[in-house]
Structure 1
Amino acid sequence: MNFASDNGGPVPTQVLEALTRANEGYAPGYGSDALTAKVADQIRTLFEAPQAAVYLVGLGTAANALALATLVQPYQTVFCTPDAHIHMDECNAPEFYTGGAKLTLVPGGDVMTPQALRAAIAGEENRGVHGPQRGAVSLTNVTEGGNVYALDQLGALCDVAKAYDLPVHLDGARFANACVALGCTPAQMTWKLGVDVVVFGGTKNGLMGVEAVVFFDPKHAWEFELRRKRGAQLYSKHRYLAAQMEAYLEGNFWHDLASRANASGTRLRAGLEALGLEVVNDTQANMVFFRAPLRVHRAVMGKGAVYHFWGTEDVPEDEPVTARLVCDWSLGDQSVDDFLKLMGQAL
């Protein structure tokens, strides 16, 4: 009953087997191996983008920071939500890798609106040399609050960015979960709406540790390659990144893994609501934010459930507090049902 994070789940056997196959014999290093080239072509096919520049890195933070550094100058700013991972959870890595570009927070929660984005953009680049220049817009799907932008919502945000000639970065750490939730293709959620670069996440969806950075305009390729090397993300034994991604792409395994995680999230949400508990986030993928009395959280955790809650300072035991549950691909119905049973008993 571990709902702490989809980072904490196991790696599928198919991925481990792919790593074993890649471990046979010798292969050129630094991404010049045949398997890396094959995977790049597979990702281009998946995204219906034959000219795209595709690169593999080991970490989501590196993927986001290097992608943004390729898009913006040190004197520019990146527009994002206050809850964005690049703001809340990356220890100023985007600012570091861009050489000092700041983040401008678009007011609101984890879901950005076109009106708020337009106002935030209009509020910058109006002080000449004294202020930051407009740089890029960064979006996240699935959001950090467990919500999923509909395609028309993403399209409207991209339209605002394009009206100001700003590139759009999509943090897709849970890209697969969003595609499953929306029933769309990767192309429909990215370049067809106006996204310039996407992180096609794998680590949160079962891989040992690899993310793909996809630039739909290959003009960014050489700069990204230089920044990836300088940023210590050009792996010598690169074939082991490619092997994970090869297994991920085979037979749309990425989609299958995300479908399992989302199904657990849907089951979990329905069960919590049936118990009369408030679910905070509006849309369904693999994350559920809900509120329950502090005593209930403590009782359930005392029985072995693992997840996170916060806002408990000076809170009475019967006061509801917000918690986050994240479902990974391996969780399964039994774990969800066992957790719901414990919640019912604690209530």
Structure 2
Amino acid sequence: MNFASDNVVGASAPVMQALMQANAGAMAAYGADEITRRVKARFSEIFERDVAVFLVTTGTAANALALSSAVPPWGLCVCHREAHVIDDECGAPEFFMHGAKLIGLPGIAAKLDVPTVKSYLQGLPKSVKQMPPKALSISQATECGTVYARDEIAALAAVCREHGMALHMDGARFVNALVSLGCTPAEMTWKQGVDILSFGATKNGCLMAEAIVVFRPELAEALDYRSKRAGQIISKGRLIAAQLEGYFADDHWLANARHANRMAGLLAEGLKQLPGVRLAWPVEANEVFPIIPKAMSEALRTAGVLFMGWTEASLPEGEAIAPDEALVRLVTSFMTPEEDVGRLIEIARGAVARQAAE
């Protein structure tokens, strides 16, 4: 049973079928094919307006290139201190921004709030010695599995406008957040002030397919060249586009995310019922962060359950991990069987019973 990540499973059947169909015969190279054209038009339909779309193979490429279009080499990008862009990209955003910096701010549940961002921005010296803030990056869903509500996004966008900054959304789990909020893609992005989006699909059913979606036209001007220099203009580009065509067909992407989120909800509800277990943060997408007895953690690992330990940096005020406890991350995917969720809960329940009997 693998709850380590939603990256551990392969591609979904509709995505693979679309990929196999696109594999037949010859088509124009470097994204000049009909499938890529259709997929880019589909993005405009999904977001209810004309958007510029750049297809890439990884989330790291999407984030790094998106931020490079918004932040000049002398600029700052503000994000949460646990954001993927600052904590898990091996410096790729700074590399592609050619010397610009990422600044990480604190926030409960890996979310930024307006007072924290405003306080930081207002405290920056207005001098040529200080790199000016040029972008704010938020993760949707966050690294703690929480989701920014629409009014929270709009409030942060207003701060960006006040300070002349672009708002970037890292949407590695974009659709998990989307179905959690029950809104449209437009309502979660540009209608709230998002300027550029890293649209994730690999975690939710694609083999390797992500996209940069640009809502502010001037941010798209150099992205073709930036993508080429980054090795992201793929000669057989139709095979990236085909994955997304299969992904979007018949709302397959939404169904995948609903399943993953539902499995996370079932897992959270089952674990919450057990003595000694509490949730570090609300379960709002497809990640569960329970605080559990170390004996339970050891029992799960012994039984072959794969999961990750997690940092305490964004715990709510007053919450703490005791010496005999562990904070862990459990991630569900579009392929997680309900039986695996039930089995994990049973193993955890057995650990509680054994500990009570000792």
TM over 0.5: yes
CA distance in 2, matches of 1:331, 1:150: 26
CA contact (8 A) 1:294 1:317 kept: no
Which residue of structure 2 aligns with residue 270 of structure 1? Answer: 269
Aligned to 2:130: 131
What pairs up with 1:12-91 in 2 under 5 angstroms? 12-50=12-50, 52-91=51-90
Structure 1's 130 and 311: CA in aligned 2 closer, same or farther, altered over 3 A? closer
Are 1:319 and 2:324 matched, yes or no? yes
Query: What does residue range 297-336 of structure 1 map to in structure 2 within 5 Å?
Result: 297-310=297-310, 319-336=324-341
**How many matched pairs?**
342
Percent identity over paired residues: 39
3-state secondary structure, aligned to 2:289: strand
Whole-angstrom CA distance in 1 between matches of 2:57 and 2:123: 36
- Quote the residue 2:116 is aligned against: 116
In 1, Cα distance between the equivalents of 2:256 and 2:120? 37
1:226 and 2:225 are equivalent in the alignment: yes
Structure 1 unaligned residues grouped into runs of 5+:
none
Whole-Å separation in 2 of the counterparts to 1:186 and 1:106: 27
Amino acid across the alignment from 2:62:
A
**Aligned mates of 1:219, 1:285 — CA distance in 2:** 32
**Following the alignment from structure 1 to structure 2, what is the Cα–Cα distance between the partners of residues 32 and 194?**
31
CA distance in 2, matches of 1:203, 1:270: 27
Code of the residue aligned with 1:252 in structure 2: it is D
Amino acid at match of 1:4: A
User: Would the aligned equivalents of 1:80 and 1:138 in 2 still touch at CA under 8 Å?
Assistant: yes
Determine if contact 1:15/1:247 at 8 Å carries over to the other structure: yes
List 4+ stretches of structure 1 deviating above 6 A.
none
CA distance in 2, matches of 1:20, 1:179: 28
| Separation of aligned partners in 2, 1:189 and 1:252 | 17
Quick check: 1:248 aligned with 2:247?
yes
Asked if the contact 1:76–1:135 (Cα under 8 Å) also holds between the matched residues in 2, the reply is yes
CA contact (8 A) 2:105 2:112 kept: yes
Query: In structure 2, do the counterparts of structure 1 residues 230 and 311 end up closer, same or farther at CA, with 3 Å as the change threshold?
Result: closer
SS in 1 for 2:234: coil
Letter in 2 for 1:167: A
TM-score (norm 2): 0.93
TM-score of the superposition, structure 1-length normalised?
0.96
Measured against aligned partners, the alpha-carbon deviations of 1:236-268 in whole angstroms (never above 9, x if no partner) come to 110110000001111111111000000000000
SS where residue 22 of structure 1 aligns?
helix
Residue type matched to 1:5 in 2? S
CA distance in 1 between counterparts of 2:122 and 2:53 reads 33
Deviation for aligned residue 1:56: 0.6
- 1:289 equivalent in structure 2: 289
Q: How big is the shift at 1:106?
A: 2.1
